[in-house]
Amino acid sequence: MPRLEPERLRDALREHFATLDVDRASVEHVVASMVETSLRGVDSHGVQLAPHYSRAVRAGRVNARPGITTVRREASTAVLDADHAFGHHAGSTAIALAEELADASGLGAVSVVRSTHFGAAAYFALQSSRRGYLAFAFTNADALVAPFHARAPFFGTNPICMTAPMDGEEPLCLDMATSRVSWNKVKLRREQGVPLEPGWAMDELGQPTIAPHAARVLAPSGEYKGFGLGMMVEVLCGLLAGGPAATEILPMFSAPLERRREISHFFAALRIGAFTDPACFRARLQGLADAVRRMAADSPEHEVMVPGDPEKRHFAERSRVGIPMPEDRLQELITMAPAVARAVLP
């Protein structure tokens, strides 16, 4: 599989989005998020989305030059109107504001209304934990997950992301869909022609299926628990922001690209020093993570890891050898932005 050198890829993508007259902050965040996310191994939310985003800008779904405004603000909370900005830009603005509120009051929470797809939730929370905060990022999404015991989709994959600074490495990072598996795993099995695991998905009639092309609905993670968490993410996002929720949200790929989706997000940042000594916190968290990693595994093929460990390994490897890109996706990127060809490693 071809591999792409991250720096040259970043330059090519920046150049492409700048030619679409996208403002500087939006370009910086959408490109930084896509490349970092691909380096972390989360291909579904990385540079493979660039052609979709490019079309979404040209069709008008994403506002290339948004005026993000603060609608409400109190000592520890705010609501931002994203004006249909790239979610990557809106979210980065929101988490920075949450930190500003946390600096002054201990904790800050920012709700975002009228945004678009924000990529990987981890992009925002990691920024914040690198700056020393405990951070949270949530978003709603179009209906794809069935409530427990139901057969039709109602809430989106509504992810939960929480990060915390560690002592000698990148932050601890949990970024999980509230469905049993992400939609991307289903798409990957389609491409590979491999059946799904039982319990992952249902077909359009709501019948359980292991046929990847028949899958239309995802099962929640951990039965009623994942469903309940997904519903609570919608409470924090669409309901608090006053934006569309659940089945009201337009689907990302099948809705016309000129239609605006009005995605809602919720971010929070907590200043650790408002609670305890930050250095002690980081040292204890590092100790806990290392103790978990040293535990005996249930089989020789497994290792015991903490949240974010698989992504840290991908990051280290892909930073060295480049980002793998399936041939058809690579051609799509090059058609969109010819300079991507210069990033292909020999």
Residues 81-120 that bind a second copy (CB under 8 A): 101, 104-109, 111
Neighbours of 275 (CB within 10 A): 12
Are 114 and 262 in contact, with CB atoms under 8 Å apart?
yes
Number of residues that bind a second copy (CB under 8 A): 75
Exposure on the CB side of residue 239, measured as CA atoms within 13 A: 9
For residue 120, the SS3 value is coil
- The alpha carbon of residue 106 and the mean position of all alpha carbons in its chain are separated, in whole angstroms, by 26
CB of 161 to a second copy, least distance (A): 10
70 touches a second copy (CB under 8 A): no
Does residue 172 touch a second copy according to CB under 8 A? yes
Distances in Å between the Cα of 80 and the Cα atoms of 20, 67, 215 are 25, 10, 36
Handedness of CA 230, 235, 237, 243 (dihedral sign): positive
Bridge-based pairing of strands 77-81 and 69-73 is: antiparallel
Q: Quick one: 170 exposed, middle or buried, by C-beta within 10 A (0-12, 13-18, 19+)?
A: middle
Selected binder of a second copy within 120, 160, 201, 340 (CB under 8 A): 160
42 binds a second copy (CB under 8 A): no
Name which of 291 and 345 has its Cβ closer to a second copy.
291
Binding to a second copy by residue 171, rule CB under 8 A? no
d(CA 171, CA 36) in angstroms, rounded, equals 14
Contact between 44 and a second copy by CB under 8 A: the answer reads no
Q: How far is the CB of 122 from a second copy (least distance, A)?
A: 12
Q: Which of 148, 167, 312, 336 binds a second copy (CB under 8 A)?
A: 148
- 26 is an interface residue for a second copy by CB under 8 A: no
- Supply the minimum distance, in Å, between the C-beta of residue 293 and a second copy: 9
Near a second copy by CB under 8 A: residue from 274, 279, 321, 345: 274
* CA–CA separation, 292 and 212 (whole Å): 35
Helical axes 24-39 vs 309-321, angle rounded to 10°: 100
In which element (H, E) is residue 345 found?
none
Of the candidate residues 168, 193, 253, 298, the single one contacting a second copy (CB under 8 A): 298
Q: Which residues is 235 bridged to in the sheet? A: none
305 binds a second copy (CB under 8 A): yes
Is the Cβ of residue 51 or residue 106 nearer to a second copy in the bound state? 106
Report, in Å, the least distance between residue 206 CB and a second copy: 7
- Residue 77 is a binding residue for a second copy (CB under 8 A): yes
> Closest distance between a second copy and the C-beta of residue 337, in Å?
35
Quick one: 34 or 135, whose CB is closer to a second copy? 135
Any contact of residue 40 with a second copy (CB under 8 A)?
no
Q: Give, as ranges, the residues between 213 and 242 that touch a second copy (CB under 8 A).
A: 221-222, 224-229, 231-232, 234-236, 239-242
Is 164 near a second copy (CB under 8 A)?
yes
Contact 39, 47 (CB under 8 A): no
